Amino acid sequence: MCRLPKKGKKACTIVPCSRCRKRNLECTIDDSFTREHKRRRYIELEHENEQWRQQLQSSQQLITNSVPVALPTAAASIAVSAVIKSDAHLGDPRASTLSYPQYQLPLSGSTQVAIMGDDDGTKLRALKSVTLAGEEIDELYQNFFRHYASFLPILDAQTRPDVYYAQSPFLFWAILGVSSRSYGRNPTLQSALAQEVTEMAFMSVLSTCAPWHIIQGLLILLTWPFPKDNRPDVTFPMSGMLLHVAMQNGFHIPMSSHEFSRVKIPAPSELDMVRRSELWAHCVLVYQRSCLIKGQSPRNLVTMAQDETQRQVLFDMIAPHLVQKLRCQEVLGKCCEAVLENGVRAMTLEQELALDVLLRRFEGDVDDIALQAVVEDERYYLLLCRMAIQSFHFYKTQTIATSGCLPRLIVTACNLVDYVQALADRTGYLFMVPVQITFGLLLASMSLLRILKSDLASSGLDTSRARATFFAAINLAKQMSTDRSDTAAKIVTVLTQLWNSSKAFRKADGSDYTALRIRSRLILSQILDSVWWWRDEFDPKARAEMRGCEFMDNISSRGRSFQGIEVGHATVGTDPGREPSSRGNVQNLSTSRRDDLYMNEDYLTNFEWLSDEIFSFPLDSSYNLA
C-alpha cells in the first residue's frame, strides 16, 4: 500500500501511481499519515525517557545522603536525544550480557544521584577471608560515588552493587578496594583487599565477563593503586594489559569495533561509539600516565586510528575536556622523544642550548592548548604538562643558572601546589585524589627542594614563595596519605629529611652538586636522583645490600678495581663528590672510597632496586601521620 500524505511535494495525485503499478501494489491516499520532523520526535522521546526515569526513581527507596556527581561526558549530551532503555536493566543481572553496556547518564552536568537498593537489600559478599555485609557494601559504594567517581566518570551511580557483581566480580571488588581507602569503620579493609583484588585484576583477562567491565576495573585500580607495602609494584605491567585488552576488543577503532567481536553483532550506534571512544581515551591517558610515572617514554597512541579521518571523528565524538587531556599527553610524549633524540647522558654546551630551544617550543604548544581550556580540571593537566616539560631543565649543568629557566620552574611548581591546596580547601580532604595529582605534587615539591637546597637559590631568585609552597606541599602530602606505606607518606619522609640535611646535593667539600646522577628516566630522573641522595644518608641498609650484591663480589674475586662505568659520553658510578667528566675519562676509585660508590643505575634497575616503585624503602616507624 502506498501511504503518502494528501498534501506535499510528493503527494499522489493519480491513483494508481506509477510506483504502485510497477510494484503491483494497492495505491490509496491516507489522510491520517503526516510527515514527522526528526527533532520533534527526539524531543518526545526525551520526555518519555524522563518520565520513565522519574517513575523508576519514585518506585525505589533511595539511600539517604545522596551526593552530587558530575559526569562530563559527550555521551551525556547524546543520551537526551536517543532512546536509552537501560532503566529496565538496572535491576536485571542479565544486563551484563549486552554487547555495549547501557549505563544511565544524567540530563545535566551535575545532578543528584544515589545508590539504589531493592526490598531485599544488597547481598553479603565474600572474597576469601574478607566478608562484607550488605549495608557495608552500600556504604562503600556511596563513598566511592561521593568522593572518587568525579575523577574518573566511567560508571553509573544508579546501578546497584549486586548488578555490578553480576556483570563482573572483579569490577565489583575494584570499586570496594578503592573506596576502602577512606572507610573509617574498617581501616584494615584496604590492606586486606589489596592482594586479592590485584590478583583478580590479572586473572580478569581469563574471565568470561564483558571486556567493557574488565577495562573499567583496570582503569579504577590504575587511577587509585593500592599501597605497594612489601609487594612488587604491578601498575606498569597492568597498564600494558589494560591497553591490549582494549585494543583486542576494538576500542581504538570505535566505528569498527563490531569487527573485533567473536560473534556477529550489529554495527555500533552513535551513542555506543561515543562511549567506546571515551573509554579508549581514558585507556590512553592512564597508559601514558603510567609510562611517565615510571620514567618511560609514552607511546603516541592517539594516532593509532587507521587514517586521519578516523582520528578526527574520535576527537569530535568525545568530550572536549578529554580532548584537551589527550593533547597535553601528546605534547609531553613528543617532548620526551625530542629530549632523548637530543641526548641526555653527558650534554655539551650546544646540546644544552638545543634543549632549551626544544623545551620552549613545547611550552608554546601547551600555551596553545591553554587557550581552549574552559574546565577547571583541564587547568591541572596543563600545569602538570608544563611542569613535566620544564623539569628537563635539571639535565643541564652549564646553562641552568643563565638560561632563565629557574624562575619559570618556581612559578609553575608553586601554581601546581596551589591548585592542590585549592582542591583541599574546597573539599576539606585529599584522601580521594588520583595518582596523577599525587605525582604532580611530588614532581613540584622535588623541583622546589632541589632549587632551594642549591647555591642557585641565593643568586637573585625570589625564593620566599617557593619556600612557603614547599612546606605547604609537605602538609598536603600528609592529607593525601591513607596508609603508612603509600607514596604520599614516603613523600613526607623524604622531603622532611632532605630539607634538614646538610649533605644532600653537596660534594664532600660542601660545595654545590648540580648534576643529575640518574639520567635515563626522563622526568622521573630528578625525583629518583633526590631519593638516591636520601638513601645515601638516611638508608644505610640499602647501601649495605648494594655493597654485598653478587655483582660486586664477582668483581672483587677477580681482583679488579672498581671503576666508573662509561655510558655514552658520561662516566656514571663515580664519586658523588666530583663533577661528572665531560670527556668520558674513566676515573679509578680507591678501595677506601667503596662506601661512597654509586652503581650504574641500569644495573640496579635490572635487579629491581628502582623498578618496583619510586620509593622502595620502609617507612620510618617514628613518622606520625597525624
Q: How many CB atoms lie within 10 A of CB 430?
A: 21
pLDDT over 90 (residue 448): yes
**Closest CA relative to residue 610, chosen from 515, 546, 544, 540:** 546
Query: Under the phi-then-psi rule, with left for phi > 0, alpha for psi from -120 to 50, and beta for the rest, what region is 50?
Result: alpha
3-state secondary structure of 446: helix
Cβ(529)–Cβ(515) under 8 Å? no
Cβ(307)–Cβ(260) under 8 Å? no
Same domain, 410 and 300: no
DSSP for 316-365? HHS-HHHHHHHHHHHHHHHHHHHHHHH--SS--HHHHHHHHHHHHHHHHH
More confident position, 335 or 378: 335
Measured distance CA(261)–CA(275) in Å, rounded: 17
pLDDT of residue 26: 78
Strands 2-4 and 27-29, sheet pairing? parallel
For residue range 162-215, list pLDDT tens digits in order. 999 999 999 999 999 999 999 999 999 999 999 999 999 999 999 888 999 999
Same domain, 250 and 368: no
Measured distance CA(570)–CA(147) in Å, rounded: 48
| pLDDT confidence bin for 299, thresholds 50/70/90 | confident
What's the mean pLDDT in 463-480?
A: 96
pLDDT of residue 232: 85
Which of the listed residues 317, 336, 352 is the one where a domain comes to its end? 317
**Closest CA relative to residue 339, chosen from 362, 356, 355:** 355
Mean pLDDT of the chain: 77
What's the mean pLDDT in 541-563?
A: 49
For the stretch 234-242, contacts whose Cβ atoms lie closer than 8 Å and that sit 24 or more positions apart, written own/partner, are: 234/198, 234/202, 235/290, 235/293, 235/294, 236/290, 236/291, 236/294, 236/296, 238/201, 238/202, 239/286, 239/287, 239/290, 239/291, 240/287, 241/202, 241/205, 242/215, 242/218, 242/283, 242/286, 242/287
Number of domains composing the chain: 4
Cβ(172)–Cβ(159) under 8 Å? no
pLDDT over 90 (residue 305): no
More confident position, 112 or 40: 40
The whole domain housing 3 covers 1-35
3-state secondary structure of 511: coil
Measured distance CA(231)–CA(476) in Å, rounded: 26
Same domain, 59 and 21: no
Task: Report in angstroms the alpha-carbon separations of 185 from 12, 127, 136, 188, 246.
Answer: 74, 18, 9, 9, 36
Measured distance CA(276)–CA(310) in Å, rounded: 14
More confident position, 581 or 510: 510
Measured distance CA(501)–CA(491) in Å, rounded: 15
Measured distance CA(513)–CA(510) in Å, rounded: 9
pLDDT over 90 (residue 311): no
Q: Which amino acid is at 368?
A: D
Same domain, 517 and 540: no
Same domain, 432 and 298: no
**CB burial readout 219-238, b (16+ within 10 A) else e:** bbbbbbbbbbeeeebbbbeb
Predicted TM-score (pTM) of this structure: 0.73
Same domain, 483 and 545: no
| pLDDT confidence bin for 598, thresholds 50/70/90 | very low
Same domain, 82 and 140: yes
For residue range 603-618, list pLDDT tens digits in order. 333 333 333 445 554 4
pLDDT over 60 (residue 84): no
DSSP character for 130? Answer: E
Measured distance CA(512)–CA(515) in Å, rounded: 9
Q: How many CB atoms lie within 10 A of CB 611?
A: 15
Which of the listed residues 285, 317, 349 is the one where a domain comes to its end? 317
Same domain, 204 and 301: yes
Same domain, 186 and 69: yes
Same domain, 284 and 347: no
> For the chain, give me the number of helices (H) and strands (E)?
22, 8
pLDDT of residue 106: 32
Can you read off the three cell numbers belonging to residue 393? Answer: 631543565
For residue range 103-138, list pLDDT tens digits in order. 333 323 333 333 344 457 899 999 999 999 999 999
Q: Which residues sit opposite 506 in a β-bridge?
A: 512
The dihedral built from the CA positions of residue 417, 418, 421 and 422, taken in this order, carries a sign that is negative
| pLDDT confidence bin for 320, thresholds 50/70/90 | confident
pLDDT over 90 (residue 475): yes
Query: Under the phi-then-psi rule, with left for phi > 0, alpha for psi from -120 to 50, and beta for the rest, what region is 92?
Result: beta
Q: Which amino acid is at 298?
A: P
* Helical packing angle, 376-390 and 405-427, nearest 10°: 150
Cβ(447)–Cβ(409) under 8 Å? yes
Same domain, 196 and 67: yes
Same domain, 173 and 231: yes
Q: How many CA atoms lie within 13 A of 268 on its CB side?
A: 25
